[in-house]
Amino acid sequence: MNRVIYPGTFDPITFGHVDVVKRAAKLFGKVTVAISNNPRKKPTFSVAKRIALAKDALSDVKGVEVESFTGLLVEYAKKKKASAVVRGLRELSDFEFEFQTAIVNRKLGNLETVLIVTDPKYFYLSSSMVKEIAEMGGNVSCFVPKKVELSLKKALK
């Protein structure tokens, strides 16, 4: 079985992320959801909270582990003995960024990238949009798991 990594900030994890993880697990058997601890970003939730929310959201998916990483993805992938990186592709504008990142990861660490086209019911969804809706008091229950929704309400009040 090949191990793949699905890296991201996951601030917070959404139903779109969950869909990509489920589909990657079917394809590869084992998926590591690697939550980035990127000091350049200012996430709403701590790394520990993002891990807890992701583990809860993915608890029914076999072959999935959730952990964090710091530094270059290619170095983390070597440590995990991963064969590839999985990324969700929502729209055409995502492609340009993902293509560039895939080329750099291949050049730096001979790491392949597999793009999974997001299910059409989630193609518009992003963590940033979910947070903005929650900040303005909107209902995000159709975008995120229940524990994420409750955590957002608590964090953003």
Catalytically annotated residues: 17, 41, 90, 127
Using alpha carbons, select from 144, 112, 122, 125 the residue that is nearest to residue 28: 112
The amino acid at 22 = K
DSSP 9: -
39 upstream amide cis, omega within 30 of 0: no
Contact 32, 5 (CB under 8 A): yes
Using alpha carbons, select from 114, 149, 143 the residue that is nearest to residue 16: 143
Q: Which residue carries 């929502």 as its tokens?
A: 90
Partnered with residue 69 across adjacent β-strands are 36
